[in-house]
Amino acid sequence: MNKNLMYALVSILFISCEQILEEDIQKKEVELIIPANGIRLSMQNVGFLWEGIDGAESYRLQIVNPDFTVPQTLVLDTLIHKKSFRQYLDLGKYEWRVRAENSAYQSDFTTYVFWVDTLNSSRISK
> pLDDT tens digits, residue range 36-47?
999 999 999 999
Report how many helices (DSSP H) and strands (DSSP E) the chain contains, helices first.
Answer: 1, 8
> pLDDT tens digits, residue range 33-87?
999 999 999 999 999 999 999 999 999 999 999 999 999 999 999 999 999 999 9
Under 8 Å between Cβ of 125 and 45: no
C-alpha 61/C-alpha 48 separation (Å) is 9
Give residue 12's pLDDT. Answer: 53
C-alpha 37/C-alpha 126 separation (Å) is 9
Ordered DSSP codes for 2-25 = -HHHHHHHHHHHHHHHHHHHS---
**Model pTM?**
0.78
> pLDDT tens digits, residue range 90-103?
999 999 999 999 99
